[in-house]
Amino acid sequence: MIAFIEDQRVVYGVESICRVLPIAPSTYYHRLACLADPSKASARHQRDTELRPEVKRVWDENYQVYGVRKAWHQRMRPVKARFQAFSGCQFHGMSSSRRLIL
């Protein structure tokens, strides 16, 4: 949605686009600020960004068939901290409904 607003803002303006779409103008501007300076993002978003390669590694090592629950349990084995596996799985387009066909 941010990319669409970015493409159309010259023609229509950010506020008029946001009136039609379900996004507040402040959300758009905050997202742009976070892209320019990642330290402005929330602590959870920063942590998720750091953990995404680990989620991808666990998913790839298990033939890309692990869903959210199994990826979380696998990730929890070496580390005791809580891990937000769901957001990481969504980012990589993971789904638990995939089957390995040999």
pLDDT value for 59: 82
C-alpha distances in Å from residue 83, one per residue of 23, 75, 80, 94: 28, 8, 9, 16
What residues make up the domain containing 18? 2-40
In this structure, are residues 29 and 2 in contact, taking their beta carbons and an 8 Å threshold? no
55 with 36, same domain: the answer is no
pLDDT, tens digit (0-9, with 9 covering 90-100), for 29-57: 999 999 999 999 999 999 988 888 888 88
Distance separating alpha carbons of residues 14 and 31, to the nearest angstrom = 13
More confident site: 101 or 88: 88
More confident site: 9 or 75: 9
Distance separating alpha carbons of residues 70 and 58, to the nearest angstrom = 10
Does any domain span residue 99? no
Does any domain span residue 48? yes
Domain count, the chain: 2
pLDDT band for 81, please (50, 70, 90 cuts).
Answer: very low
Rounded to 5°, the CA angle 27-30-35 comes to: 125
34 with 59, same domain: the answer is no
14 with 51, same domain: the answer is no
pLDDT, tens digit (0-9, with 9 covering 90-100), for 55-64: 888 888 888 8
